[in-house]
Amino acid sequence: MDLTRERQKARSSPADEILDTVGLYCPIPIIRTAERMKRLAGGAVLEVISDDRVILIDMPAWCRSTGNAFLGSRQEGEEFRLLVRKKEGHA
């Protein structure tokens, strides 16, 4: 992804960090999300961007199984933007 696109995404996001998984398919977006969440402080919000429709099922299920909060999703063109809040107390 080019730097200009990264900056545009950062400006339009309420998240603390953004994870771009466009072009990656199940289960890689969830694996990358789990890896990134380990580095975030409790309560931080991660926005995951994906073009894999399956993430709309996988991310809420992953959040339920890990105790993180799924905050919702929206579609922008062919991409899905999902917000996840890391559970408190797990830096």
- The catalytic residues are 26
CA distance 67 to 48: 17
Q: Take residue 85 and report the two structure tokens written for it.
A: 């809040």
Instruction: List, in sequence order, every residue forming a beta bridge with 74; answer none if it has no partner.
Output: 81
What would the two tokens of residue 90 be? 């797990």
Bridge pairing between strands 69-76 and 45-50: unpaired
Phi then psi dihedrals of residue 79, to 5 deg: -105, 150
